[in-house]
Every structure is written in structure tokens, then in C-alpha cells.
């Protein structure tokens, strides 16, 4: 893929990430999700679709076009799959395809899944033993996510009408480039959007930090240790902290209005001296059936029975996506971050921002904030979410 197409697809993915965040964040609860995990599933569905279904999925992904998005997904997957054991941070992704034992994938689709995502389709007894199949697929998700996601699909989720299941898993375990000292962690007040507060443990440090200050918010970049001496850090967590205690939703709306420009221009340029500096420890998890969300966002056609998935599986009857499940866990402490996400789709039959270096900057994340975990060189967002109450 040429540079311009790659850049366009990355902008589309960033915009899609914020669209998901905007739709998921409105209920003032803790939130974690993986835009990249969603992206993989949508690209895989597009690879096996034709007609109106294909056109709608490609339009949903963004204006760069289907080929650009397929190439970006392949690039991201191969980059993470190529990271061997011992890489820092430990980042892994996996793609799984399970087809009913009475059916076969189309050769072109099976070859694409194998060559681009190192995934081999497995036959499953969905018709005769759907719950046994569910248990086995859940074990795959648990293994691929380091044990963080154990029961993605609940009992009864699959049945004899299931023809095909597509799953993606993403896992990250990273140590901070400069870990926090546990002895410096102290309890403090975290102020909730409703005006009340809770006591939670805050990490702190006197080290210089990558912080940028903007009108209405600040951004903290916490790099993960890459294990390379003098090398550029590849992955970081970015914490977006609104100035106002109830300013999170306004910040998310502003971010969504010009995602690519916002993310690039708001990123801290260099480390600065810190004054009062506190970041809460937190663990955020979310499990959701996003089928209705996707429909509300305009992706309706894949959920309607049609012959548009004929390029995916050798089956003469209409097919439709029944549901899309997503689960994500992000845990942050003094040492670093553990994060995992899984997405499963089962197919059934029948603004302007300027940056100015301050002399000394306070960064006190004692009220609701947004976080992103990004691959910094490409800008790909692996995980995103919001913390409105670290105690939950």
C-alpha cells in the first residue's frame, strides 16, 4: 500500500475509534474497548462480503476504501504478530475462524485469513453440539488474552443455526519506561461527575513527564519500556484530562470533531518539569453486545439476511450477522499496564490546538478522564476508554 493510502486508512481508523468512544461513553460509566479489535472483525466481514453489504461496511470504515483498509489491517496484524517472545511491551493479536463442520469456507477467503492473519479455519459442531463449540472457542479467547477474558460468549450464545464465528483477540502487557514507586502511592479524593468523591490510591512521581497543556484540557503521555537503549518508544498511554471536573463529555465531543488532527497536535512534544502530579491506579472492564450500537451508527446491512456473504462460506441459503460481542479489560498500576480485548461475530443461517512549553506543570487526574493506548509511530489506537470512578 502506498504512503498516502496508508495515511488515509490510519486517519479513518482514528476517526472510527472516536465514533465508537462517542457512542459508548454517554452513560457516565467506566469504559474500555479496543478500536483495533473491532476494526479487524469489520475488515474480515468485508473480505467475505459482496454487493450492498460490502459497500456499507467499506463506507462505515471510512473514505480511504476497502483495499486501503484491508492493507492497514494486514500491516497492523503482521507488525504485532512479528513481535517475538521477549519483545517489550508484549503485544499480541490473534484471529480465529470457526465454521460449522457441515460447511466449508470459500478457498479465497480461507487463503486470505491464513496468509494475512496466520489463522487457520477450524471445523466446529455448531449444529450438533453448539455449547461444546462455545466452550472451546472461549478457551481460545482466554489463551490469546493472557487469561484476562475468560467467558466472552455466555451459555446459549451459539446454537444450531450458527454457520460461522469470526473472532479477534488483542493483548498488551507493558512496563512503564519510568515505573512509579509503590511507596509513593497515597490515597486521595477522586471527584465524580455528580459532585461526590471517593478515596482511591494515586500514583505520583517527581520525574519529568511528557505533558502538553491546551485550552480546556491537558494530555499526559506515559511511554512503555521498549527494551531499546536510546531508541524511540513504540507504545504509550495517553491520558486526556479536562480542566473541569465535569468536562469529559465535552472533551470527547471536541476530540471527535477532528480526530486525526486532534490526536496528532495534542500529543506532548517533550518532557517538562512537574509540580503536583497524581494519576490513579485503575482497572476498567466492559463487556457489551455492540450489534445495536453498530446499527445505530449506520452499519445495518450485515445484520440482514442476504446472499452477500457468499464469498465467505460455501452455503446456498441467506446468511446474516446475528451478534457482535466485545469485551475489554485495562489495568493500570505502578509497574505498567495489562490490557486485553476480544471481539466475536457469529453469522447465522435462514479543532485548532497550539502547544506551549510551561515552566512547571501540574497534572492531577482526580476527576473523570479519557485514555488511549497507541502505537506511536503509526498512531494506531489499540485500546481506549474512560475512567469516571477508579473505585468501581
> In the predicted model, what is the mean pLDDT of the chain?
89
Residues 30, 169 share a domain: yes
What pLDDT is recorded for position 355?
A: 42
pLDDT confidence band for 316 (50 / 70 / 90): confident
Residues 24, 141 share a domain: yes
Mean pLDDT of 249-260: 81
Please list the residues that pair with 372 across neighbouring strands.
Answer: 238, 384
| Alpha-carbon span 369 to 253, nearest angstrom | 13
| Alpha-carbon span 54 to 173, nearest angstrom | 35
What pLDDT is recorded for position 201?
A: 97
Identify which has the larger pLDDT, 265 or 42.
42
What pLDDT is recorded for position 282?
A: 96
- Which residues contact residue 238 at a Cβ distance below 8 angstroms, ignoring those fewer than 6 apart? 219, 220, 221, 222, 267, 371, 372, 373, 374
Return the C-alpha cell found at 285: 472492564
- Which residues contact residue 229 at a Cβ distance below 8 angstroms, ignoring those fewer than 6 apart? none
Residues 46, 160 share a domain: yes
- Which residues contact residue 44 at a Cβ distance below 8 angstroms, ignoring those fewer than 6 apart? 95, 97, 113, 117, 166, 168
Question: Is residue 102, in this structure, part of any structural domain at all?
Answer: yes
- Which residues contact residue 90 at a Cβ distance below 8 angstroms, ignoring those fewer than 6 apart? 83, 171, 172, 173, 174
Q: How many CA atoms lie within 13 A of 205 on its CB side?
A: 19
Report pLDDT digits (tens) over 66-112. 999 999 998 888 776 556 556 788 888 899 999 999 999 999 999 99
Q: CB neighbours (10 Å) of residue 195?
A: 8
Q: Which residue is it, cell 471445523?
A: 123
Q: In whole angstroms, what separates CA 265 from the centre of its chain?
A: 21
Question: Is residue 348, in this structure, part of any structural domain at all?
Answer: no
Total residue length of the chain: 392
Question: Is residue 133, in this structure, part of any structural domain at all?
Answer: yes
| Alpha-carbon span 173 to 244, nearest angstrom | 31
What pLDDT is recorded for position 326?
A: 95
Question: Is residue 343, in this structure, part of any structural domain at all?
Answer: no
User: Which parts of the chain fold into alpha helices (H)?
Assistant: 3-24, 35-47, 51-61, 66-81, 107-117, 130-144, 248-257, 259-266, 291-296
Residues 243, 365 share a domain: yes
| Alpha-carbon span 181 to 325, nearest angstrom | 37
Residues 50, 181 share a domain: no
% of the chain residues with pLDDT over 90: 66
Residues 246, 98 share a domain: no
Predicted TM-score (pTM) of this structure:
0.91
Q: Shortest CA distance to 272 belongs to which of 352, 166, 355, 350?
A: 355
pLDDT confidence band for 352 (50 / 70 / 90): very low
- Which residues contact residue 376 at a Cβ distance below 8 angstroms, ignoring those fewer than 6 apart? 223, 232, 233, 234, 235, 236
Q: Which residue is it, cell 480465529?
A: 96
Residues 101, 51 share a domain: yes
Q: In whole angstroms, what separates CA 49 from the centre of its chain?
A: 23
Residues 274, 243 share a domain: yes
When mean pLDDT is compared over 116-120, 204-208, 256-260, the highest value belongs to 204-208
Question: Is residue 392, in this structure, part of any structural domain at all?
Answer: no
CATH of the domain at 194: 2.30.39.10
Examine the pLDDT at 128 and tell me if it is beyond 90.
yes
Mean pLDDT of 41-60: 94
Q: Kindly write down the DSSP assignment for every residue of 239-299, as one continuous string.
A: EEEESSTT-HHHHHHHHHHTHHHHHHHHS--SEE-EEEEEEE-EEEEEEEE-HHHHHHTT-
Please list the residues that pair with 373 across neighbouring strands.
Answer: 237, 383
CATH of the domain at 114: 3.30.497.10
Question: Is residue 144, in this structure, part of any structural domain at all?
Answer: yes
pLDDT confidence band for 353 (50 / 70 / 90): very low
Residues 72, 169 share a domain: yes
% of the chain residues with pLDDT over 70: 91
The total domain count for the chain is 2
When mean pLDDT is compared over 265-279, 342-356, 362-376, the highest value belongs to 362-376
What pLDDT is recorded for position 85?
A: 59
Residues 289, 141 share a domain: yes
Residues 147, 48 share a domain: yes
| Alpha-carbon span 189 to 321, nearest angstrom | 45
Contact 321/306 with Cβ under 8 angstroms? Answer: no
Question: Is residue 129, in this structure, part of any structural domain at all?
Answer: yes
Residues 271, 330 share a domain: no
- Domain range for 251 is 175-281+353-387
pLDDT confidence band for 354 (50 / 70 / 90): very low
Question: Is residue 347, in this structure, part of any structural domain at all?
Answer: no
Amino acid at each position: 500500500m502506498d504512503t498516502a493510502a496508508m495515511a488515509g486508512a490510519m486517519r479513518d481508523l482514528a476517526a472510527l475509534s472516536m465514533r465508537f468512544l462517542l457512542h459508548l461513553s454517554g452513560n457516565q460509566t467506566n469504559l474500555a474497548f479496543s478500536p483495533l479489535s473491532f476494526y479487524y472483525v469489520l475488515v474480515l466481514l468485508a473480505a467475505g462480503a459482496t454487493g450492498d453489504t460490502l459497500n456499507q461496511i467499506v463506507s462505515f470504515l471510512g473514505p480511504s476504501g476497502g483495499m486501503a483498509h484491508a492493507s492497514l489491517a494486514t500491516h497492523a496484524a503482521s507488525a504485532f504478530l512479528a513481535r517475538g517472545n521477549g519483545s517489550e511491551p508484549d503485544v499480541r493479536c490473534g484471529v480465529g475462524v470457526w465454521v460449522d463442520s457441515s460447511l466449508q469456507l470459500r478457498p479465497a477467503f480461507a487463503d486470505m485469513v491464513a496468509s494475512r492473519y496466520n489463522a487457520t479455519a477450524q471445523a466446529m459442531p455448531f449444529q450438533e453440539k453448539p455449547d461444546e463449540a462455545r466452550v472451546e472457542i472461549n478457551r481460545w479467547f482466554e489463551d490469546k488474552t493472557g487469561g484476562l477474558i475468560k467467558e466472552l460468549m455466555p451459555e446459549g450464545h451459539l446454537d444450531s443455526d450458527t454457520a460461522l464465528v469470526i473472532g479477534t483477540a488483542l493483548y498488551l502487557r507493558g512496563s512503564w519506561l519510568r515505573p512509579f514507586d509503590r511507596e509513593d502511592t497515597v490515597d486521595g479524593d477522586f471527584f465524580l461527575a455528580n459532585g461526590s468523591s471517593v478515596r482511591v490510591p494515586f500514583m505520583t512521581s517527581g520525574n519529568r513527564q511528557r505533558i502538553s497543556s491546551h485550552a480546556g484540557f491537558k494530555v499526559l503521555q506515559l511511554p512503555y519500556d521498549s527494551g531499546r537503549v536510546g531508541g524511540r518508544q513504540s507504545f504509550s498511554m495517553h491520558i486526556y484530562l479536562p480542566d473541569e471536573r465535569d468536562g469529559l463529555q465535552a472533551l470527547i465531543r471536541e476530540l471527535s470533531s477532528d480526530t486525526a488532527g486532534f490526536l496528532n497536535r495534542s500529543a506532548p512534544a517533550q518532557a517538562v518539569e512537574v509540580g503536583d502530579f497524581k494519576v490513579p491506579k485503575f482497572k476498567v472492564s466492559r463487556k457489551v453486545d455492540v450489534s445495536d450500537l453498530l446499527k445505530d451508527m449506520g452499519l445495518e446491512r450485515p445484520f440482514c439476511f442476504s446472499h452477500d456473504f457468499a464469498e465467505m462460506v460455501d452455503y446456498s441459503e441467506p446468511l446474516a450477522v446475528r451478534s457482535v460481542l466485545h469485551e475489554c479489560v485495562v489495568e493500570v498500576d505502578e509497574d505498567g499496564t495489562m490490557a486485553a480485548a476480544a471481539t466475536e461475530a457469529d453469522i447465522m443461517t435462514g479543532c485548532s490546538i497550539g502547544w506551549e512549553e510551561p515552566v512547571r506543570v501540574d497534572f492531577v487526574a482526580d476527576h473523570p478522564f479519557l485514555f488511549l493506548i497507541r502505537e506511536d509511530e503509526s498512531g494506531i489506537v489499540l485500546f481506549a476508554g474512560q475512567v469516571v470512578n477508579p473505585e468501581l
